[in-house]
Structure 1
């Protein structure tokens, strides 16, 4: 079983959409079934899980979801990025993260240990997010590879690379593969991923078709 979506209660779907769009999160869907039912889905960068909100999709009070966790490798860099998007972000603290008011120590973990440093922000309704700095995973905390899924994606990549290889000058196939796979892993369609790989080959590797 793969956890994939959290529903957020919001009072104004358009305002919430503008906020999460402003963060640079990927808009996956905005579907209106009728006047009383609308579903909007966003996915944070590099995340396998998404959020949904809208109209008529939950009975929870707006702003009642607290302490959803985002994992980052560099907390200070993430803080500056969020501030650059106009988000009001807390100061960094270390110690307990979830439900830890009164037990937080200002500043990052003195030894910058993985899992030890935190900050937070909230959306316009008050649904809150925690950011935790993780630089090294504890044993067993990394998902195993889906071999069948990877094989299918590699097969697709090879098929699309064949069309490029047929007209391109001599090049290292793994460069094209890497650019294509990266685009697909970030949600691009095969066509968009192929275009991204072509741009990468032209702009970075100077292989122009």
Structure 2
């Protein structure tokens, strides 16, 4: 089973449609009375409509995973989306700024839609083991793929220094590195 759609409660369908379009999410074809948006690179969509939910508008909360939180935050601010400053968890509560070590899952920011449905942005560049099906490798955007390739390039350079020889099969090494990184496995040897 895979999660396909999450319904979010909104009070004004047209205003919500304008808001989610500003995020750059894809507006999907749907039956009448249903509005569906899919975030870039996501396999799961959000839907809303006049009669889709009995929940109180603004009562939903979700997480959005991003590869480069500062860049995405800047893009949302440029679209007039009110996004919190970036923060990371600390022992006594949130600490201002990204995680100093830029560890996956630690740097965060939040924003809400017009009704108050809250979205937590969480920077993830490497998944924890067991969090991703190792048979499915995908990237949310060209930028995410380019970032993964740069990390692979750096790691491959270290690999060649460690082995003391050039690796003519570097494309396969890069591919394995990027797949392993997404599924939380160690880099190839």
Task: Provide the TM-score with structure 1 as the length reference.
Answer: 0.62
Which residue of the other structure, out of 97, 108, 112, is the alignment partner of 2:102?
112
2:25 matched to which residue of 1?
A: 25
Cα deviation per residue 1:142-194 (whole Å; 9 max; x = unaligned)?
Answer: 22436xxxxxxxxxxxxxxxxxxxxxxxxxxxxxxxxxxxxxxxxxxxxxxxx
Question: Aligned equivalents of 1:11 and 1:79: distance in 2?
Answer: 26
Change (3 A) 1:15 1:4: same
1:60 matched to which residue of 2?
A: 55
2:162 matched to which residue of 1?
A: none
1:94 offset after TM fit, Å? 0.3
1:31 offset after TM fit, Å? 3.0
Question: Aligned equivalents of 2:58 and 2:39: distance in 1?
Answer: 19
How many residues align structurally? 135
Question: Aligned equivalents of 2:14 and 2:30: distance in 1?
Answer: 10
Q: Which runs of 5+ in 2 are unaligned?
A: 137-189
* Structure 1 residue ranges, 4+ long, deviating more than 6 angstroms after superposition: none
Question: Aligned equivalents of 1:14 and 1:88: distance in 2?
Answer: 19
Q: How large is the Cα RMSD of the aligned pairs?
A: 1.4
Task: Provide the TM-score with structure 2 as the length reference.
Answer: 0.68
> Are positions 1:85 and 2:79 aligned together?
yes
Larger radius of gyration: 1
Q: Which runs of 5+ in 1 are unaligned?
A: 33-37, 97-101, 147-209
2:171 matched to which residue of 1?
A: none
